[in-house]
Amino acid sequence: MKKTTLILVTLGLLLISPKGISQVITGENVAVTNTEYGKVRGYIQNGIHTYKGIPYAKAERFVAPEKPDAWEGVRSSTMFGPVAPLLTPTTSVRDEGEFVFDHDWGYPNEDCLRINIWTPSIDDGKKRPVLFWIHGGGFTTGSSQELPSYDGENLSKKGDVVVVSINHRLNILGFLDLSAYGEKYKHSANNSMLDIVAALEWVKANISNFGGDPNSVTVFGQSGGGAKVNTLMAMPAAQGLYHKAVNQSGSFRTAMLDKNDTQQIGEEVVNILGLDQGNIDSIQNIPFTTLSDASAKALKIVGEKRAASGKANIGFGLNWGPSVDGEDLPFQVFSDEAFELSKDIPLLLGTAKNEFAPFANMRFVHSSEEDILAHIKNQYKEKADDYIKAVKKAYPNDTDPKDLIDVDLMFRPGAVVQANAKASVKNGAAVYMYLFTWQSPVFDGKYKALHCMELPFVFDNIEKAKNMTGGGKELQGLADNMSWAWINFAETGNPNHEGLPEWPAYTPANTATMHFDNTSVVKPQLDKELFKIALGE
């Protein structure tokens, strides 16, 4: 037996102790590989080579990203890098809700363009599918380490795939439009999205050194991450850098601001800061807390002006996010041009059954059926009976009176619109639709299929995220079904596998939707009437 083979076998035997407790292998020469900018060293856990906090780009404040600086020697890459600063730092949390999500807030720094990688091997000659994860938090918060669900080790090990995640600029740092103040800031309205494109470019150039295939990259994200996936699909610069897309609960923003709007916000920020064309570069040195204060004031002023002129605000209200700038983002995300641009990209999309509704309706947790029916009557007036009938048609197995109001009407309608439009593109790639209906038992079941609840199952991290799922071996069947669907989709563009019933591609005619639960089933769209009544569609 060759010496190198003996070492690898020995390392493999050390990964799992007799009691099944994992061990971490570290060392000066462990998990060392190349990038364009220098060598990096990670660690090996459960057979997975792990790298964290590698710079994929650098950027001045409000300036488009550039390639990172090279380094000499071997860069230690075993800890997550900085996270994007929050406009409002977290100083207190709601105890029970925080227990469920179990956040890791990380440490903020504007120099946050970092990439993390999990891979089964770096030197076996394989070219593995790459799953490129984009975190949630809208366009203003979040990070690649925020939730325990995001850890890529189990997904990488199960599917023999490379899992990647990133941090990028957010909020005012990623979206303040200063394009009216000179060529230097030409791209500033969409710098956050350009960071993601830069990370995809890094993957294309470097992922083969980590056992990945640069020609098989799947972008996937949830909530704000799903919205970022949608945005990438409308960006010419992103085309060719990814090959499949997954949007989880991310179709809530169907339109973006345009340049007139974003330049107005930018002008308001500049005025609040006391700057002008002559000293605009001073904005790069202003303390972030001052920027944060200006952000809140400017958005409020412009939002009020828009409302007074009859203009609708975008998404959940006027906030930071991508915009149609005529260059980096020439199209609205749900425009015919955008769907044509990404026509060859297979899409897997869906939502959770309850999303934010359990939070919104927490005051009704202990309410009687009579009180809940009175609430429905007050909200829907003469349409109350029709609403109840429509909910029961959509979810005929529900029995708790509160289930009548804990239905998501924020995320799923947009997903249906997107699925119909994408599936209608002539000669376009396949679309697969899902609905996550599994109900969490934590805290007496009151969180149900909450926003983010599918993530532990997709990443096969039900134990890491047991505060959210409750944990336990009985959940492994659903975790297997979902994680294998995502793995197969990343490999082939088709999520079907033997653990699931046949999952047809979605069309506006069949509206085939996989309902993920302990027993998963395919159903047609059952909430059309509900949308009409609740949303006036």
Residue 7 has pLDDT above 50, yes or no: no
**One-character DSSP codes across 249-282:** S--S----EEHHHHHHHHHHHHHHTT--GGGGGG
Residue range 92-114, pLDDT digits in tens: 888 999 999 999 999 999 999 99
Tokens representing 519 are 């027993």
**Bridge partner residues of 248 (DSSP):** 222, 350
Strands (E), 413-452: 431-436
Query: Is CATH 3.40.50.1820 the right assignment for the domain spanning 3-248?
Result: yes
**3-248 matches 346-535 in fold:** yes
523, 515 Cβ separation under 8 angstroms: yes
Say which residues have a Cβ less than 8 Å from residue 355's Cβ, sequence separation at least 6: 249, 408, 410, 411, 412, 449, 450, 451
SS3 assignment for 417-438: HHHHHHHCCCCCCCEEEEEECC
Q: Is the pLDDT of residue 318 over 90?
A: no
The model's pLDDT over 206-227, given as tens digits with 9 standing for 90+, comes to 999 999 999 999 999 999 999 9
Active-site residue identified among 216, 223, 292, 295: 223
For residue 536, pLDDT over 90 is answered with no
What pLDDT shows up at residue 2? 37
Six-digit token string for 272: 């609040």
Q: Which of 49, 243, 375, 451 is catalytic?
A: 451
Q: What is the pTM of this model?
A: 0.94
- Whole-angstrom distance, CA of residue 94 vs CA of residue 5: 52
Mean pLDDT, rounded, for 198-203: 98
Q: Which of 146, 355, 454, 491 is catalytic?
A: 355
Determine the average pLDDT of the residues in 139-152: 98
Q: What are the pLDDT digits (tens) for 260-277?
A: 999 999 999 999 999 999
CATH number for the 346-535 domain, one of 3.40.50.1980, 3.40.50.1820, 3.30.1330.10, 3.90.1150.10?
3.40.50.1820
Question: Can you read off the two tokens belonging to residue 111?
Answer: 């120099």
User: What average pLDDT score do residues 54-74 get?
Assistant: 98
pLDDT at position 537: 64
**Where does residue 433 rank: exposed (0-12), middle (13-18), buried (19+ CB within 10 A)?**
buried
Domain ranges within the chain, ordered by starting residue = 3-248, 346-535
Q: What does the chain come to in residues?
A: 537
Give residue 348's region: left, alpha or beta (phi > 0; psi -120 to 50). Answer: beta
- pLDDT, position 8: 40
Asked whether 12 and 36 are in contact (CB, 8 A), the reply is: no
- Residue 223 designated active-site: yes
pLDDT at residue 93, as a whole number? 85
Question: 89-93, 355-359, 526-530: which has the minimum mean pLDDT?
Answer: 89-93
Please determine, for residue 19, whether its predicted confidence score (pLDDT) is greater than 50.
no
Ramachandran sector of residue 471 (left: φ over 0; alpha: ψ -120 to 50; beta: rest): left
Active site residue 366: no
Confidence of residue 90 (pLDDT cuts 50, 70, 90): confident
- Is the model more confident about 18 or about 339? 339
For residue 166, is pLDDT > 80?
Answer: yes
- Average predicted confidence (pLDDT) for the chain: 94
Question: What pLDDT score was predicted for residue 210?
Answer: 98
Pick from 442, 460, 453, 379: which is nearest to 411 by CA?
Answer: 453
Report d(CA 443, CA 387) in Å as an integer.
28
Active site residue 201: no
Coil, helix or strand at residue 462: coil
